[in-house]
Structure 1
Amino acid sequence: MEGEQRAGLFRVPFHIPSFHGLRTLGVYLSGILYALGFWIFLDAVLYSKHANASDLHVTFIDWIPFLCSTLGMVIVSAIEKNRLMDYNNGDFGGNEAIIWQARTVLFLGLALLAGGLSGSIVVLIIKFVIKDYTTYPTVGMGINNVLGNIFILLSCVVLWIAQNAEDEYSYSLTI
């Protein structure tokens, strides 16, 4: 029993350090990454509204990928790692319906994140590159949209890892 490992779909070969300060640092880093992504996108919006000399501006189409990424981040961050696992020892009760609901919601959140990032890339290509708006200040609005979505995706990854790292107290309770 001691050498027996629980079989899972994916298994990370290393353990996340269980230090409370590291968890807090991860949450703060996630907030910084989200704020940076938001600011990069907001910079493009403000540039488009006040300083843009071309006839191409940021419209609602440019906001859709950003909103999808933000909604995906909220959904993914709201799911606990324990709800995704099937515990046989009775900690979770092994309720298959709740496990599959959590996995489905996680999939939808990740799909929104991926859709937001790919949508911003599509907007960059269709709105700026194909229509030959490749001079820097104008194409910079599309690049800022893509960079903002990348930072939101990174923020979600850091927050997921930070929230689901087990601290020493919860580990000692499950032994």
Structure 2
Amino acid sequence: MSLPRANYDPRRVCLNPFPELTLGKHKRTIGVYLAGALFAIANWTFLDAAILSAHSKAPWGQPGNDDPPVHVTFVDWIPGICSLLGYLDSRDDGFGDSRAVWRARLFLFIGFALMAGGLAGSVTVLVLKYFKYYGYANVSQSVCMMLSAVVLWFAQNTSSEYEYNLTL
């Protein structure tokens, strides 16, 4: 059995330290805004594809003008819902006691597993159902949500200019 490192803190979720980013004094703010922009782009692209499919018409002169060529159904929304639930579940709460560390790691694992499942589901919908804008929008939604969660996680765990470490 190996001894823990000297700088080991049992309240930490990850054992590996985060890379030190030097974005100036506003690095946390930049990260939060970037994560929000990625989240907005993720949902906007899929909603755009869903609205576009709801108003699409069959090409002129083809039989069956009543049925649209593509219609986004609830099955196409499931990967985005999984990614959203994973995004909401992948938060990093500061647990005070060391017994709650496993719960934080479990919730983090479940959150990223849901996001990975959403990405896999969106790629499956892309390959099996449509290989058009609707499928690409579904995949880009899952990828942007994963990137947004990672950027937000890094932004929240960076040190701020106004953070003071007082030890007695």
What TM-score results when the alignment is normalised by the length of structure 2? 0.78
| Bigger Cα displacement from structure 2, 14-23 vs 37-46 | 14-23
Query: Once the 2 structures are TM-superposed, how far is the Cα of residue 61 of structure 1 from its aligned partner?
Result: 0.5
- Give the unaligned 5+ runs of structure 2: 59-67
CA distance in 2, matches of 1:22, 1:157: 15
Q: Does 1:104 align with 2:109?
A: no
Residue of structure 1 in register with 2:126 after alignment? 124
Q: Does 1:29 align with 2:34?
A: yes
Residue of structure 1 in register with 2:43 after alignment? 38
Residue of structure 1 in register with 2:63 after alignment? none
Alignment of 1:133-144 (within 5 A): 134=131, 139-144=132-137
Residue of structure 2 in register with 1:172 after alignment? 165
CA distance in 2, matches of 1:73, 1:14: 22
Query: Would you say the 8 A contact 2:56–2:69 is kept in 1?
Result: no
Give the root-mean-square deviation of aligned CA atoms: 2.6
Alignment of 1:44-83 (within 5 A): 44-53=49-58, 54-77=68-91, 79-80=92-93, 82-83=94-95
Change (3 A) 1:33 1:13: closer
Query: Once the 2 structures are TM-superposed, how far is the Cα of residue 27 of structure 1 from its aligned partner?
Result: 0.5
User: Highest relative contact order (Cα 8 Å, sep 6+), 1 or 2?
Assistant: 1
Change (3 A) 1:24 1:174: farther
Which digits, 9 at most, give the CA deviation of each residue in 1:84-140, with x for residues without a partner? xxxxxxxx443x2x1111111111111111011111001111112xxxxx5xxxx11
- Give the unaligned 5+ runs of structure 1: 84-91, 129-133
Q: Which residue identity lines up with residue 22 of structure 1 in the other structure? A: K
CA distance in 1, matches of 2:23, 2:167: 14
Secondary structure of 1:121's partner?
A: helix
Q: Which residue identity lines up with residue 44 of structure 1 in the other structure? A: A
Count of residue pairs brought into register by the alignment: 152
Change (3 A) 1:118 1:171: farther
Whose helix proportion is higher, 1 or 2? 1
Query: Once the 2 structures are TM-superposed, how far is the Cα of residue 19 of structure 1 from its aligned partner?
Result: 5.5
Query: Once the 2 structures are TM-superposed, how far is the Cα of residue 13 of structure 1 from its aligned partner?
Result: 7.0
Query: Once the 2 structures are TM-superposed, how far is the Cα of residue 149 of structure 1 from its aligned partner?
Result: 1.1
Query: Would you say the 8 A contact 2:56–2:70 is kept in 1?
Result: no
